[in-house]
Amino acid sequence: MRPILRGHADRLAVLEKECSAAIRETLSGTLPLADLDRLGEAIRAAGKKEIDLSDLAAGMEDAVGGGKVDAGRLGALVEGARDLASLRLRLLGKGEGGGERATHGLVIAAASVARWAAVYPYNPFAVPAVVDTTGHAAPLAEGLVLGEIRAVAEAVALERRCRQLLADGGKTAGDDGAPPWDDWTGEEKALCPPLLLLFDDETLERHGSAHLSRLLHSDLPIKIVLLSRLDPGGRGRGSEVSPDAGLVALAHRGCFTLQSSIAHADHLAHGVAHALAFPGPAFIRIHAPSPLEDGFAPDGAVEQARLAVWSRAFPLFRRDPCAAGEQGRELALEGNPSTGDAWALDRSGRPVTYAHWAVTEKRFAHHFRPLPKDAPKPIPLEEYVEATDSDRQGRTPFILAGEDGKETRLEVSEPIAEASREHLRIWNLLRDLAGLTSDAAAAAHSEEIAALGRRHEEEVAAAREQAKRELTARIQSRLRAFAGVTGPAGDGKGM
């Protein structure tokens, strides 16, 4: 963003010089010698050592009657040159208030981050930041972006007006006001700093999902960042809180989508840079495991994140609507191991499954136990998840865990086995969409993604209607309380 702003400042400097040249040409090239007396009178009338050119132009309005000076255009050029200089200085941090313009804004809705970010002085942000504790971070972010667009629109209108003045051959440019966002060029939209909206799994599920689709359907520069722990939830479910969050984002064709990990710094940095530069909305899901909450050694966060990618628990991918990926596809899977295969292999040549990642974290400990000697028909998990329903009946899935030479066969619970199947299905779906399998499979999975998007939108619509009914019921209840009316308040459909 900083190079864009400095490049814009350079363009404003050139435009300012062109306006100044046009002013000089208007004053010196269009006035005959006889009118220099009138110019001198206007200068003396000002009675100042330094004369504002706009005042000088106003003082020569009677020359317009002679058809010699377009005072309106001259005044517009002077005002334009002055405003261009002021805007350029503000961009460079030399105007009123000082400091260069922020490259982006930040709204924090993630509960795990807000707990410390909202407490001074533990909020060392180098950009304007808002910590939301109300549960309305998404509409707050949308309002902030719209406000920023209005501020930048004034600069866009100024630049357009000055260019029109210079190109009109002497005509005065009309002031049509700030142009609507839809009419901005790509270069103009790039001047609006993006806003990062930070969620975690818990907050997104509780407060953000109803607004997620709306933001991703817009063309606003809002970048939704989801810090994910692959949280099993603890609410009676065996999979993550939002296992399809990345797939839901893929269903929005105009949205930049990135799924990356702290274990793959180059992939993460490159993807985030492109997401910030993308002119529309972006969804960025980052695997950020917590040693304390997930149950592993404090120095093992990067290794856990690497294993999550290796085991297909958290595949890396990027979809840029403005650029084609592998084989002309928008979806790219660079950074994943063995993209041509269903499984990545360990050093012993055995498949690494979702369960091989889960067994390394204490929060999943209750899903594993030593395989009993009398376990019915033991079968390796990688074979179990790819078998048909009938073939899985009466079989006991297991994995090998431990160091080489000290490996133990562990029975895998059905929730973890099912999660392994689901993550393998998602991985194969991503491979199809990236063009790594047959076109027929890719077409089928594209429809699956579209269906997922439609289902998500239906859920969002239902959540909105439920929220409206609950709000109406609360309002009616309070009104009845104020009026001293007792009895049932009804279903709230009357409002």
Residue that has been written with the tokens 């949205």 in this structure: 255
Full domain range(s) for residue 17: 1-101
**Which pLDDT belongs to residue 78?**
85
pTM: 0.76
Distance of CA 280 to the CA centre of its chain: 8
Q: Could you tell me if residue 81 is inside a domain? A: yes
Torsion angle (degrees, nearest 10) of CA 35, 36, 39, 43: -160
Cα separation of 414 and 333, whole Å?
A: 29
- Band (290; pLDDT cuts 50, 70, 90): confident
- Residue 76 pLDDT greater than 90, yes or no: no
CB atoms inside a 10 Å sphere around CB 412? 28
Q: Could you tell me if residue 346 is inside a domain? A: no
More confident residue, 73 or 311: 311
* DSSP result, 418-470: HHHHHHHHHHHHHHHHTTSS-HHHHHHHHHHHHHHHHHHHHHHHHHHHHHHHH
* CB contact set of 235 (below 8 Å; sequence gap of 6+): none
Cα separation of 129 and 465, whole Å?
A: 31
Is residue 287 classed as helix, strand or coil in its secondary structure? strand
Q: Could you tell me if residue 56 is inside a domain? A: yes
Q: Could you tell me if residue 15 is inside a domain? A: yes
Distances (CA, A) of 117 to 105, 120, 482: 15, 8, 39
- Going by C-alpha positions, the residue among 346, 363, 19, 14 that lies closest to residue 161 is 19
Q: Find the mean pLDDT for residues 61-78.
A: 66
Q: Could you tell me if residue 132 is inside a domain? A: no
Q: Could you tell me if residue 76 is inside a domain? A: yes
**Residue 391, both tokens:** 């073939």
Cα separation of 135 and 377, whole Å?
A: 50
pLDDT digits (tens, 9 = 90+) for 147-198: 888 888 888 888 888 888 888 665 555 566 778 888 888 888 888 889 999 9
Q: Find the mean pLDDT for residues 109-132.
A: 77
- Residue 117 pLDDT greater than 80, yes or no: no
Cα separation of 257 and 333, whole Å?
A: 12
**Residue 313, both tokens:** 């628990």
221, 215 Cβ separation under 8 angstroms: no
* CB contact set of 96 (below 8 Å; sequence gap of 6+): 90
Residues in the chain: 495
Q: Could you tell me if residue 432 is inside a domain? A: no
Rg (CA), the chain: 31
Q: Could you tell me if residue 494 is inside a domain? A: no
Burial class of 184 by CB neighbour count within 10 A (0 to 12, 13 to 18, 19+): buried
Distances (CA, A) of 198 to 202, 250, 360, 462: 12, 19, 28, 24
Cα separation of 444 and 432, whole Å?
A: 9
**Residue 170, both tokens:** 């002497």
- Residue 234 pLDDT greater than 50, yes or no: no
Residue type for position 76: A
Alpha helix segments (H runs only) across 256-396 = 265-277, 291-294, 301-310, 354-358, 381-386, 389-392
Residue type for position 475: I
What is the count of structural domains for the chain?
1
85, 79 Cβ separation under 8 angstroms: no
pLDDT digits (tens, 9 = 90+) for 360-382: 999 999 999 999 999 999 999 99
**Which pLDDT belongs to residue 20?**
85
Mean pLDDT score across all residues of the chain: 79
CB atoms inside a 10 Å sphere around CB 449? 21
DSSP type of residue 208:
I
73, 161 Cβ separation under 8 angstroms: no
* DSSP result, 337-364: S-TTSSSEE-TTS-EE-HHHHHTTSGGG
- Is the backbone peptide bond immediately before 121 cis, with ω within 30 degrees of 0? yes
**Which pLDDT belongs to residue 114?**
73
Residue that has been written with the tokens 């260069």 in this structure: 100
